[in-house]
Amino acid sequence: DGEFYKSVGLVVDVSEKVYVTDHRIESDPLIAPVRIQNFDSTGTHLNTWGTHGIGPRQLIKPAGIGVDSAGNSYVADFENNKVVKFNSSKVAVDEWGSFGSGKGQFSGPWGVAVAGSTVYVTDSYNHRVQRFNLNGGFQKQWHSPGADLFTFEPRGIAIDSGGQIFVTDIATNKVKVFKEVTAVNNPTGTVLINNGASNTSWSLVSLKLSAIDSAGNPVDYMRFSNDGFTWYGWGPFKPITSWTLNGNKGTNTVYAQFMDTNGLISVKVSDTIILDNAANPPAPPKVFSAEVKAPRLTTRYHNRADFKVSWKAVGALPPGGVTSYDVKYKINRKGSWRQLLTNTKKKITRIKGRPGRTYRTRARAHGADGTTTKWSKVKTTVIPQDNGTSISKRRGFGKAIKKKRSKTYLRTIRRSTRRGDYVTYRFKGKAVFLVTTMGRYYSKADIYVNGKFMERVNGFSHRTRFRKVLWGKSWGKYRTRTLKIVNVGNKRRIDLDALAVLR
């Protein structure tokens, strides 16, 4: 205690105690576990805390640290892409964040500063600063004003008594100053299990929910967890919904969070119930129906755009089984349904697709007793377009024709070996996927959609991998959008193989 191996973050609290984050030396992983230490103003060691690992509330590479007026400390984990909260007794009590570029997600969080009831975190590789409440509820994010996103890679952060925010930027070797102008209140809400019952015999329960934003309006989204750390995805807010407990006998807790239209997230709220019988409700009866299997995206072949579609009957089959199937398909969203097969006994076929199109397929089954199922759920398959289609602007990324036995899609790529090269595609659809080659000599790239930074991706792989989806994103509506890919590597290459658009 009191010694350091690789000290990174430092903060002084209101009582002049000094907090320091410390992590292992990367070249010698057998020494120096991660830890946080604090000292009095004379340098006398007081406490050591923190555990190493990738589990809940554990740390791999602690960086910045902040302390609130109650003595709670907040540590950014650069490697685990999260913030871990410790109480005044140095016990880990909460965490938030995951890898990604969405609100509340991180890509290399580094600096932490606490001001009043607000926590600020620098998000280095997402080129932004994010603001949270003391329980991890997202409030706001911002980038460097008037600057290209490349030129803002924030690290250290500090706040003065006037509310000015100072951020070190290692991309431009400057300190940038921001000023907060308005206060933001997060939504609030409650969750009630089985209308407040104390016990249940079923793991399937009913949740009663209420939540409003700071203006008193209903919130838009909600999410749930059985442990307060592993969350299921955001869904539209409903005042009543069903939920499955973890199934363990005894006290079970359900956690809920709410999000408003501005993306502000509430603190965690919870309710408990005692599960005294882990029995589950009976499964609903199976219904005679059909289902289709088809690839979401096909890059299987380097010289053609074919894909396989299969179908089968499921559920409670009628007496005598299934006699035949009907299969239909349509091209792109506004196309009309076409008959692929009628009264066929086959269960698989190949569709000869064309690059740049989206195919939707469905099927129905005919039973021996004369019954016919409803049409199955539609399966969508996106056929990539060649890398040269829909380019609106580029620098570098010249076309390279491969040999006949190439493993790239449609035998062509566009290659860049220079930092700063870019290519911009213009497309209309509700999802887009970038198909590339990955390998030892491949570089990083920054992705922008409609001029907004999305994510930094890495084409490095220990072995060469052809026709791989390096990045993708979907939206709720079909719109015309631009996709810009920028080479940010140093003397390494990027091969753009194809672009797949859900049309």
DSSP string covering 10-63: EEE-TT--EEEEE---TT-TTS---EEEEE-TT--EEEEE--BSSSTT-BSSEE
Q: What are phi and psi of 124, to 5 degrees?
A: -55, -55
What is the CATH classification number for the domain harbouring 373? 2.60.40.10
Count other Cβ atoms within 10 Å, centred on residue 259: 24
What is the sign of the dihedral through the CA atoms of 258, 259, 261 and 264?
positive
426 band by pLDDT with thresholds 50, 70 and 90: very high
pTM value is 0.48
- CA torsion sign for 113, 117, 123, 126 is negative
Shared domain check, 140 and 256: no
Residue 30: the pLDDT is 46
Could you write out the DSSP letters of every residue in 124-151?
A: GGGTEEEEEETT--EEEEE--TTS-GGG
Distance CA 222, CA 239 (A): 10
Residue 60 shares a structural domain with residue 127:
yes
Distance CA 487, CA 489 (A): 6
What is residue 456's three-state secondary structure?
strand
Overall domain count for the chain:
4
- Of 92-101, 123-132, 179-188, 342-351, the one with minimum mean pLDDT is 179-188
Same domain, 263 and 298: no
Number of other residues whose CB lies within 10 A of the CB of residue 11: 20
Q: Which two tokens stand for residue 437?
A: 């080659």
CA angle (348 as vertex; 343, 352 as ends), nearest 5: 100
Instruction: Provide, rounded to the nearest whole percent, the portion of the chain with pLDDT above 90.
Output: 33
Least confident of 169-178, 313-322, 403-412: 403-412
Dist. CA 163–CA 231, nearest whole Å: 33
Phi and psi at 58, nearest 5°, equal -105, 165
- Asked whether residue 373 falls in the same domain as residue 392, the answer is no
Q: Which of 242, 275, 308 is the last residue of a domain?
A: 275
With respect to residue 415, please indicate whether it lies within any of the assigned structural domains: yes
Residue 347 CA to residue 321 CA, distance in Å, equals: 14
Is 242 inside any structural domain? yes
Give yes or no: residues 163 and 24 share one domain. Answer: yes
By the 8 A CB rule, do 75 and 84 touch? Answer: yes
Q: Tell me the average pLDDT across 334-361.
A: 92
CATH code of residue 128: 2.120.10.30
Rounded-to-10 torsion of CA 109, 113, 117, 123 = -20
**Last-in-domain residue among 358, 382, 406:** 382
210 has pLDDT over 90? yes
Residues 369 and 389 in one domain: no
**pLDDT(213) > 60:** yes
- The mean pLDDT value of the chain amounts to 85
CA distance 442 to 463: 11
Res 145: pLDDT: 52
Q: Residue 404 pLDDT > 90, yes or no?
A: no
The residue-averaged pLDDT of 480-502 equals 88
Do 331 and 395 lie in one domain? The reply is no
Q: What is the DSSP string of 266-310?
A: PPPEEEEEEE-----PPPPPP--EEEEE--SB----SS--EEEEE
- Banded model confidence at residue 489, pLDDT cuts 50, 70, 90: confident
Does 284 map to a domain?
A: no
Listed in sequence order, the residues at least 6 apart from 210 whose beta carbon sits closer than 8 Å to its beta carbon are: 189, 190, 239
Q: Quote the pLDDT of residue 151.
A: 63
| Averaged pLDDT for residues 232-254 | 87
pLDDT (0 to 100) of residue 172: 80
pLDDT band for position 142 (cuts 50, 70, 90): confident
At 402 the pLDDT is: 64
Does a structural domain hold residue 311? yes
Token match 């307060």: residue?
Answer: 228
343 and 407 part of one domain:
no
Residue 330 placed within a domain: yes
Phi, psi for 194 (deg, rounded to 5): 50, 45
**d(Cα 247, Cα 395) in Å, to the nearest integer?**
57
Q: pLDDT (tens digit, 9 = 90+) per residue, 76-91?
A: 998 889 999 999 899 9
Q: Using an 8 Å Cβ cutoff, are 238 and 223 in contact?
A: no
Residue 2 lies in a domain: no
Residue 31 lies in a domain: yes
Task: Say yes or no: 18 and 86 in one domain.
Answer: yes
Residue 360 has pLDDT above 60, yes or no: yes
> Is 274 in contact with 250 (CB distance < 8 Å)?
yes
pLDDT, position 15 = 79
> What pLDDT, on a 0 to 100 scale, did the predictor assign at position 26?
46
Which has the minimum average pLDDT: 8-17, 102-111, 256-265, 470-479? 256-265
**Domain termination residue (choose one: 352, 382, 412):** 382
Distance CA 63, CA 108 (A): 10
- Is 1 inside a domain boundary? no
Residue 228 burial (CB < 10 Å; 0-12/13-18/19+)? middle
Are 157 and 220 in a shared domain? no
Summarize the confidence of residues 417-426 as an average pLDDT. 92
**Residues 173, 39 share a domain:** yes
Within 8 A by CB and 6+ apart from 435, the residues are 299, 384, 409, 467, 468, 469, 470, 496, 497, 498, 499, 500
Judge contact between 394 and 415, C-beta under 8 A: no
Domain that holds residue 55: 7-179
446 in the same domain as 394: yes
Residue-wise pLDDT tens digits, 176-190: 888 764 445 678 899
**C-alpha distances out from residue 46 to 36, 43, 117, 213, Å:** 11, 9, 26, 42
Q: How many Cβ atoms from other residues are within 10 Å of residue 306's Cβ?
A: 13
